[in-house]
Amino acid sequence: ELKVEQNPLFLSMQEGKNYTIYCNYSTTSDRLYWYRQDPGKSLESLFVLLSNGAVKQEGRLMASLDTKARLSTLHITAAVHDLSATYFCAVDISGTYKYIFGTGTRLKVLA
Amino acid sequence: DAGVTQSPTHLIKTRGQQVTLRCSPKSGHDTVSWYQQALGQGPQFIFQYYEEEERQRGNFPDRFSGHQFPNYSSELNVNALLLGDSALYLCASSLFRTDNSPLHFGNGTRLTVT
């Protein structure tokens, strides 16, 4: 069964600092998605990563995918308070289009 | 352009009862997936519907069933409710088997079972 693990689970960081969230998964997949969820709200799509070596950037966030290592990273550059949210990665199970979500990383950016 | 809409937003039921949740997908989408999100957890996949058929199913008991209508809207039914069914139920729509079509989520239905 596919397992998707994120670390850290909780992250408290100062504004202006850089940090990386990691998403590890246990079986073959070449489709991975990142989502953001604000408290009490629904999930918003951030990035779609569809191949080994894919890199996407939007503002202060950059996501990458290494399918051989079964690892995706979400890098935060010069964090700002508005980035405070919970971030989820979601992995497609071997081409089934059935997505398994990670445990989530709750990010809090302190002013 | 209307996004994914779900109803109701909140629901309180008693153990043993049955519940129906409703979802209208984003305009242009043909696939609806349902997820259960417990407090502090990631969404858990329940099932996916396309062309009015269940295409994929997660590890949920038969008490959880669904339906998709010709206009692509969908319902999630849960029978014999248990306390553990209390959660946020999220509907997500997408284009069937399209790689660059991420899931678009509704705001969810918060179900409380007492």
pLDDT (tens digit per residue) in B12-53: 999 999 999 999 999 999 999 999 999 989 999 999 999 999
Q: For residue A88, which residues of chain B lie inside 8 Å, CB to CB?
A: 42-43
How close does chain A come to B22, measured CA to CA in Å?
16
Q: What is the pLDDT of residue A60?
A: 97
Give the angle subtended at the CA of A101 by the CAs of A46 and B4, to the nearest 5°. Answer: 60
Has residue B1 got a pLDDT over 70? no
Structure confidence by residue, pLDDT tens digits, B81-102: 999 999 999 999 999 888 888 9
Query: Residue A107 to residues A10, A41, B44, B81: CA-CA distances in angstroms?
Result: 6, 15, 21, 33
Q: What is the mean pLDDT of residues A20-49?
A: 92
- B6 vs B35: CA distance, rounded Å: 13
Q: What is the pLDDT of residue A96?
A: 79
Examine residue A39 and say whether the peptide bond preceding it is cis (omega within 30 degrees of 0). no
What are B39's two structure tokens?
């407090």
Tell me whether A43 touches chain B (CB under 8 Å).
yes
CB neighbours (10 Å) of residue A46? 20
Beta-ladder partners of A5: A24
Give the model's confidence band at B2: pLDDT under 50 very low, under 70 low, under 90 confident, else very high. confident
For residue B108, the number of C-alpha atoms closer than 13 Å in the C-beta half-sphere is: 21
